[in-house]
Structure 1
């Protein structure tokens, strides 16, 4: 019986890049029986560079161990192009599409397959990655990441990230983030963030010639209210992280109103002449000192008004303390011709009333018209007389309710009840003495 010795020798293979060596093929003798002579051949396949992006090229190299003569090669691929498919060293051009591609080399000796090896190359999506060194000038339009070193001049209109070292000059228009170290000059018209590293040990300085953050977005004014010789403005906030406050400008004089930066979303503008036309604007300010576009508004100055609080001590129609005259801000008799509203308590139904006259005189719609605006948190909640489809010559008085009042001479007033006890009614009041003006804000002291 013929003894067959089969010896498999595993080869030590050097693989570079992303290469893989496929199976080792033994060569049978003419009878189809393996020889007892060990085979010591190997295929080493490499790519340089091995990190690739769309449309990049790489050098593919095949090294054969213990195979010297009568050798032929066949290169195969799942994508991209070769400059040839016969040599031990060829150029592969990556396709314009991301993915992993298989490069296979089949090696034949005397037209018999010795073996094959595969290399898996990944084509990355970021075809705009640039690494440049040693006195190189780079001009590029759009990419995402650049690492540059050693005396490099870079012109970059648009990108997202840059890391610079060692005597690098950069001119760029728009990007998001920059980190610079070691004697670097940067010209940056528009960006969002800059981090500058100063190497104190080596006495290295970093100079930033010109840069600025984008100016803040324009804000929107919420409301402007006329006060006595003042305006009260409030606006919606700008939530950008680098916005640190707001400025107000008098567009008529071109001057800034506030001495220091406004850090709230409201402000009172003093020194307003009642009845005069004004034009103001408000802007947001970021940490670089840049201002947003102006949100401009125009208003007439406020109108004079009087206001205060009062207590009516004996609330009945026969009392000299049951009526109120807004023009003089005084308590008067309910039958006084100057009376604007009359307060009354009906003990039988335990109800307090606000009336436009003494009911003994009958209903008179030529007198004050009274609107109950319901419960309000404070006296400032109702600032403007708002006409509604209903009005009355009397209303039930309730604590916390605000009442808007139109007087016969086309002037307006409001009251807010703060206390009701026995025959006593206490209320806040405000009166607009200018006919036709419906602003009823109590003065902000």
Structure 2
């Protein structure tokens, strides 16, 4: 009889634990994650790379990425990811896009939009472009950013040309254009903005491998080139050109600021 009583007690105890587990399975979580932080964007050619810090909550399932044409405008969902990285392949060169990211958990709760105020202005770029010494090869010595092409050094669309003057190599611009050496960089993406001063008064700079140069063109556009190789008769460089007139942004923008909470009902979802 004693053994039977113990068995009955054991059965009741297990039933109690099972009931508790069943009740726990119906627990509803209505608490959204915190907004993601550390949003950064990198301009590309008809693309924008967006990254952010992973949320610390253990129940975060993924992130929704939004864009808008204005800071306080309507934000449209462009994609979701489980990672902290997303590429907007639908971005158009010459358009300004504001980006925001929201985290969501396994119960479908979505955070507010990220508070970092970031925007990007995608622009065309090119790699391993070659132009030649204008003294020996005048027809192939200049480069036109607006036409994305090699031109004669004194062509009306020439923004910059190459010169080998007695063994010293120069990048040269005309009187209506400015140029500045911003020093050694790891790649073409290292210079985020065109400077507001410090342009070369002589309208030329000594060309050095690994240096990036910003050019303020005659028609009020900004470009940058990074020299990759120089020989006595040619120079090879990567370049980027901002299509928006007067826009000094050559890479991404990360502007300090706090985004006001946005009513989720105004968000567009695609």
For residue 329 of structure 1, the aligned residue among 148, 152, 168 is 148
| Contact 1:373–1:401 (8 Å) recurs in 2 | yes
Q: 2: distance between equivalents of 1:322 and 1:434?
A: 26
Q: Does 2:135 align with 1:317?
A: yes
SS at 2:191 equivalent: coil
Report the equivalent of 2:19: 183
Distance in 1 between residues matched to 2:199 and 2:67, nearest whole Å: 41
Which residue of structure 2 aligns with residue 386 of structure 1?
195
Gaps of 5+ in 1: 1-149, 152-164, 169-180, 185-195, 197-204, 358-363
**Kept after mapping to 2: 8 A contact 1:275/1:300:** no
Q: In the alignment, which residue of structure 2 is the partner of 1:84?
A: none
1:205-284 alignment runs, 5 A limit: 208-212=25-29, 214-225=31-42, 227=44, 229-249=46-66, 256-258=77-79, 260-264=80-84, 266-272=85-91, 280-284=99-103
Contact 1:219–1:295 (CA under 8 A) maintained in structure 2: yes
Q: 2: CA distance between counterparts of 1:332 and 1:403?
A: 19
Q: 1:262 to 1:387 in 2, by over 3 A?
A: farther
Question: Deviation digits for residues 314-360 of structure 1, max 9, x if unmatched?
Answer: x243531322222223333333343221211233xx42111114xxx
Query: C-alpha displacement at 1:404, in angstroms?
Result: 0.7
What CA distance in whole angstroms lies between the structure 2 residues aligned with 1:337 and 1:274? 24
Where does 1:43-122 land on structure 2 (aligned, <5 Å)? none
Q: Which structure shows the bigger proportion of residues in helix conformation?
A: 2
Say what the alpha-carbon RMSD is for the aligned residues.
3.6
Local SS of the residue matching 1:183: helix
1:419 aligns with 2:255: no
Which residue number in structure 2 is paired with residue 39 of structure 1? none
* Equivalent residues in 2 for 1:345-384, closer than 5 Å: 345-347=164-166, 350-357=167-174, 364=175, 367-384=176-193
Question: Matched residues in 2 for 1:248 and 1:236: separation?
Answer: 13
Residues 271 and 322 of structure 1: CA distance in aligned 2, closer, same or farther (over 3 Å) = closer
TM-score (norm 1): 0.45
- State the shift of 1:299 in Å: 7.2
1:379 CA displacement: 1.6
Contact 2:63 2:103 in 1 (8 A): yes
Who is 2:248 aligned against?
Answer: 438
3-state SS of 1:217 partner: coil
Once residues 410 and 375 of structure 1 are traced to their aligned partners in structure 2, the CA distance between those partners, rounded to angstroms, is 25
Preserved contact between residue 41 and residue 119 of structure 2 (Cα < 8 Å): no
Q: Which has the higher strand share?
A: 1
CA distance in structure 1 between the aligned counterparts of 2:154 and 2:97, rounded to whole angstroms:
44
Q: Which runs of 5+ in 2 are unaligned?
A: 1-10, 253-270
2:101 and 2:205 map into 1 onto residues whose CA distance is 42
Which whole-Å CA distance do the structure 1 matches of 2:188 and 2:99 have between them?
Answer: 27
- The whole-number CA distance in structure 1 between the counterparts of 2:186 and 2:214 is 15
Which residue of structure 2 lines up, in the alignment, with residue 399 of structure 1? Answer: 209
**When the two structures are aligned, how many residues end up with a matched partner?**
237
Specify whether residues 257 and 217 from structure 1 end up closer, same or farther in structure 2 by C-alpha distance, changes over 3 A only: same
**Could you tell me the TM-score, scaled by structure 2's length?**
0.69
